[in-house]
Amino acid sequence: MNELFVKRQLNFLIQLLGLSALLFGAHSYLNYHFAKDIVLFFPLWHIYVFHFMTVLLIYSFINYRDSIGKTEVFNVFMLGMLLKMTLVIVFLLPWLLSKPDQQGYDLMNFFVPYFILLAFEVYSVTKFLQKKEQHDPTLKEGK
């Protein structure tokens, strides 16, 4: 396997695990102290496993495409975001069809970590693309 791919993948995996664990811990703590009477439709760990897997899969595919020399990562990233939004709808479909009582709280539990992990994913992808651009000056000129 490509050494650059493995190095970036391990680095991203460690950072994603750390961020997910930190977010999950803080989220669990806040839910325990401020919302222990609220019955959630999805357990918190289901939400975090879903987010972790989707972020890891999309980043892995982009990283793989970039490491084999495919430079059109933006298109792959946009396709990944479309796929992720489709998976979000599929994941939330049972909740949407059940007409839940506390809609706002369940949505917040899902989308706060979604947007935080999405920001981390975008930051990570742009970070390795910027490093690549620094090593290859023809990419800066648009050639």
User: pLDDT tens across 82-141, in order?
Assistant: 999 999 999 999 988 887 776 778 889 999 999 999 999 999 988 877 766 666 555 555
The more confidently predicted of residues 140 and 22 is 22
Cα–Cα dist 35/98, whole Å: 21
Cα–Cα dist 124/57, whole Å: 13
Cα–Cα dist 6/90, whole Å: 31
Residue-wise pLDDT for 57-68, tens only, equals 999 999 888 888
Residue-wise pLDDT for 25-69, tens only, equals 999 999 999 888 888 888 999 999 999 999 999 999 998 888 887
Domain ranges of the chain: 3-136
Q: How far is CA 21 from CA 17, 33, 37, in A?
A: 6, 18, 24
Amino acid at 87: L
Cα–Cα dist 26/113, whole Å: 11
> Is the Cβ–Cβ distance between 22 and 36 less than 8 Å?
no
